[in-house]
Structure 1
Amino acid sequence: MGRLNQTIFKINIGCSPDDSDGNEGYTEADGNLADWCKDKEHIDILVLAFLTNFGHGQYPNGNLGYCQINSDGASNGCEQLEQDIGTCQQLGKKVSISMPGSEGDFGLNSKGDAEGVAYSLWNSYGAPNAVQDKSKRPLGNVRIDGWDIDIESNPYDEDGKGYLGAMLNKLRSYFEADTAHKYYIGGAPQCYLNHDQGKNMDLNMGDSINQAKYDYLWIQIYNNECAATHAYDGSNQFNLNEWPGVIANGASKNAKLYVGIPGNKAEAPEYVPTAHLADVYNAAKGVKGFAGFMVYGVGDTKSVVVKNGCDYFGQIHSVLTTGHLC
């Protein structure tokens, strides 16, 4: 396999302003969304987190950084974000919205409920000229590029997860209404594969990955025994090579695979130091469908400068395109 000719990063840079545990590593010091789009030429996709609540008849709501989306479709403090999304798209970046996150309060109790959520997501964030008149538009005329599914628990019954695929299939069906733009669906499953339960897939997202087409899978290769740090510690537990086989017979068989790593040392003990980025790349580069890295949270990435002005993202870009650090 030759060098990657496309390097894509997913970077989560949003959180609730009262998030005291720093899950997303986002503070005012990290700057606005547009700052990252202007300064980071190697970041291709930026993901805003999270719409934590949806389903059971509730309108998708949550906090995207300091932008609050309410359950009635109204919003507070979102003016800057609206401007920044437009700036990022003008600079060639893709911007998506993630839901529901590890603390999400969601549930889907029927196919109709699931398709109702899809209706709300499309009409709220698709291109204004391709949606229903008088739709709720919490970000005004902003059009986002995609939706990211990050489910790490399910507070409702187990059967509710079975409707997630229906939600995504309905959402994708709306894309045909706006052929002028390309929309995508991404997912962030845990790397742990449930071999002992015979499912060989993330318990919370596995069914939907098989039932609905994900364009990207940003696999969370941290906080688990299959963490990216195991790509170079001699344990042989880094398992990206198993994923092509796991998805081979489902709707997401052609999904691009990304190595998800934390961008903040405080977020996970499996933070990959700059010196080991090439080791992770070397372990992943031969895997079918491997397409790049996802970095969860900005955190410490701004302070990592090794040489030639390369911060953490610059180092990842160098590894992906040359095989070695800057």
Structure 2
Amino acid sequence: MPRPIFFAACSIISCLALLTSAAFDMSRPDNVAMYWGQKSKSSVPLAELCKNPNVNIIPIGFVSNYFPDNSSMKFNMADNCDAEHFACQALEPDIESCQQQGKILLISLGGGDQPTPWQFADKGQAEAFAKLLYNSFLGGNDPKVTRPFGKAVLDGIDIDLENGQSDHFDEMVAAVQAAAKSNGDQKKYWVTGAPQCARPEPHLETALKTVSFDALFVQFYNNDCGLDSHADMSRFNFAAWHDLMQSSGVNKATKLYIGAPANSSEGSHYVDSPVLQKYIEATWANYSSAFGGVMLWDAYGAKANNNYDQQVKKILSAATSKAGATAADMPDAAPDTPTTPTFSALPVDTDSAEATGSLNTAESDSTASPDTSVPSGMSDVLRRYRSPQGHPHEGLARF
């Protein structure tokens, strides 16, 4: 795929970062995203995860809260760094090694155990947080801001809000982009989200309509719309998510991932890999252009579960090597009437361009091709929402 144009006018930190993640390809349908940072470092060290050929995206969790009164935030990585002194600089070489191997690493905001609800009161708070975030984890170089990972520059942000609301998150994302531009930073920063599968989404609904996402790691677990061990796909509402993206003015090219627990101990609705294979194959057959791969929670659970990520990557590679849906397979649009179909009855998707929602201060390198043929009635397939377990985290650090 075309890559961002390189400009000489960038900081040393951001220029080095530009050279490290060039091999990553968001347009692929077989990417595996796997969260890291919430268990003991002895379980799966980041250096070990970076050598794993089955993983493409590593969201690091979590920045769990922002405190506008003193412009600080809570950062949590269990015992993977010094929570008292916010010192994770020892991970700098591991992060850079990961990027050199074609993986992207994202700083994840939120998590399942946020101590207080996340809420920006106004645009000013969102912009202030964006500057702090950019200087702490991305290409910023404000000497007054501590960089937990030293000179390592992460590749973007992941929004996993599971407490509070996402008002003004579009302004936060825009402010990160503005900070990068003013810093002469031409690095492409990806924007992903990890919404609950329930429609409407209880915390990210506003952001889903206003933030331009490159990918959504939809959590098809801990909710009634989650995966089912009997592969009962009548509750699997991937169609509703696809329909939501296609009706959006900013997310028509967003890649959608099937989010799944990597271990039965990591959340309800865990399914064995042969069952997950059925979901992957059905989704690819019906929505090939929108499908981005699988998100797993998390790296530790996958390793303990006979390297579940390896099984998933093998399934993805095999399934997506087959031809997906084409325009010829597209049925006539159904009436705008709420339905609860089995997955085999869901409409298929036409091919579209790759995602364009990233924080990229260089000129956009792709144009989305809207799919207007999907029955709009699928957006009304609502599921009963049950309070999610979410993505738990341990050991808070504040800086």
CA separation of 1:55 and 1:114: change in aligned 2, threshold 3 A: farther
Q: Deviation per CA, 1:261-316, whole angstroms, max 9, x where unpaired?
A: 011211212112122121110231122511100001124422444xxxxx322221
Which whole-Å CA distance do the structure 1 matches of 2:31 and 2:198 have between them?
A: 23
Aligned to 1:91: 101
Please tell me whether the aligned partners of residues 62 and 68 of structure 1 are also in contact (alpha carbons under 8 angstroms): no
Q: Deviation per CA, 1:214-251, whole angstroms, max 9, x where unpaired?
A: 11110111001111227x53351001111121122232
Which whole-Å CA distance do the structure 1 matches of 2:276 and 2:198 have between them?
A: 21
Q: Deviation per CA, 1:41-65, whole angstroms, max 9, x where unpaired?
A: 0201111111112143332221124
Which whole-Å CA distance do the structure 2 matches of 1:270 and 1:59 have between them?
A: 36
Aligned to 1:22: none
Please tell me whether the aligned partners of residues 259 and 293 of structure 1 are also in contact (alpha carbons under 8 angstroms): yes
Which whole-Å CA distance do the structure 1 matches of 2:42 and 2:143 have between them?
A: 38
Please tell me whether the aligned partners of residues 192 and 213 of structure 2 are also in contact (alpha carbons under 8 angstroms): yes
Provide the secondary structure at the position in 1 that maps to 2:198: coil
Aligned to 1:7: 30
Paired letter, 1:183? Y
CA separation of 1:68 and 1:241: change in aligned 2, threshold 3 A: farther
Query: Aligned match of 1:102 in 86, 90, 112?
Result: 112
1:75 and 2:81 are equivalent in the alignment: no
Paired letter, 1:62? F
CA separation of 1:209 and 1:31: change in aligned 2, threshold 3 A: same
Which whole-Å CA distance do the structure 1 matches of 2:136 and 2:309 have between them?
A: 31
Which whole-Å CA distance do the structure 1 matches of 2:108 and 2:90 have between them?
A: 19
Displacement of 1:152: 1.2
Aligned to 1:245: 243
Please tell me whether the aligned partners of residues 163 and 203 of structure 2 are also in contact (alpha carbons under 8 angstroms): yes
Q: Kindly report the root-mean-square deviation, in angstroms, between the aligned alpha carbons of the 2 structures.
A: 2.3
Please tell me whether the aligned partners of residues 139 and 185 of structure 2 are also in contact (alpha carbons under 8 angstroms): no
Aligned to 1:197: none
Q: How many residues matched?
A: 286
Which whole-Å CA distance do the structure 1 matches of 2:272 and 2:300 have between them?
A: 13
Aligned to 2:152: 142
Larger radius of gyration: 2
Paired letter, 1:320? L
1:42 and 2:54 are equivalent in the alignment: yes
Provide the secondary structure at the position in 2 that maps to 1:161: coil
| Stretches of structure 1 lacking an aligned partner (at least 5 in a row) | 16-25, 155-159, 195-201, 306-310
1:275 and 2:274 are equivalent in the alignment: yes
Query: Aligned match of 1:316 in 312, 317, 329?
Result: 312
Provide the secondary structure at the position in 2 that maps to 1:173: helix
Displacement of 1:178: 5.2
Which whole-Å CA distance do the structure 2 matches of 1:148 and 1:297 have between them?
A: 15
CA separation of 1:323 and 1:254: change in aligned 2, threshold 3 A: closer
Which whole-Å CA distance do the structure 1 matches of 2:67 and 2:253 have between them?
A: 28
Residue identity over aligned pairs, in percent, reads 28
Please tell me whether the aligned partners of residues 139 and 180 of structure 2 are also in contact (alpha carbons under 8 angstroms): no
Query: Aligned match of 1:56 in 68, 73, 85?
Result: 68
Q: How does 1:186-205 map to 2 (within 5 A)?
A: 186-194=192-200, 202-205=201-204
Which whole-Å CA distance do the structure 1 matches of 2:256 and 2:184 have between them?
A: 26
Which whole-Å CA distance do the structure 1 matches of 2:40 and 2:138 have between them?
A: 28
Which whole-Å CA distance do the structure 1 matches of 2:290 and 2:83 have between them?
A: 35
Please tell me whether the aligned partners of residues 185 and 216 of structure 1 are also in contact (alpha carbons under 8 angstroms): yes
Aligned to 2:187: 181
Q: Which has the higher contact order (CA 8 A, sep 6+)?
A: 2
